[in-house]
Amino acid sequence: MKTENKTRKMVLSAMFIALAYVLPFLTGQIPEIGNMLCPMHIPALLCGYVCGGPWGLAVGFIAPLLRSFTLGMPSLFPKAVCMAVELATYGAVAGLMYRKLPKNNVSIYISLIIAMVVGRLVWGVTMFACMGFDLSKFGLSLFWAEAFTKAIPGIIVQLAFIPLIVMVLNKKSQ
């Protein structure tokens, strides 16, 4: 990778970390709404598209842990730890899938949906492990409620805005 390109990706990744740090302040005044909108997911996913899978993985992993260490939100264990693995998966899968699929608008949606599903599954497995593999502490119904039912507004926001942002960025780079 050329030094200029690597530096560009590093600067963009730092911007995505900053965005992931700040976005929850906009929605966090009402925790129920903030949790539903999943604001930290957006920068991790966008970084995967813009900088590639490895950079998206790094941003996704760092952002929730940085917020936890500096602000105490989300709480470190299990929430920030599980979010770090989940968001790292989002960034990595979105970036890798987007690079492998044909360069068209449909591929943006396909890679986003795959990243969102895989990320949520990884989050569920990580939560299950953090709960000591105890189904009474974290079972399928709790996974479904947390990963999908409560996250519907955030899923809608991600599906509505991330592809549009990527399409605009693609037009700017042409």
- What is the b/e burial string over 33-71, where b = at least 16 CB atoms within 10 angstroms of the residue's CB? ebbbbbbbbbbbbbbbbbbbbbbbbbbbbbbbbbbbeee
Q: Is the pLDDT of residue 1 over 80?
A: no
The predicted pLDDT at position 174 comes to 67
Rounded distance between C-alpha atoms, residue 78 and residue 64, angstroms: 11
Mean pLDDT of 86-114: 96
d(CA 147, CA 51): 26
CATH code of the domain containing 33 = 1.10.1760.20
Does the structure show a pLDDT above 80 at 30? no
Q: Which domain holds residue 106?
A: 3-173
Q: Which of 101, 87, 81, 103 is nearest to 48 (CA)?
A: 87
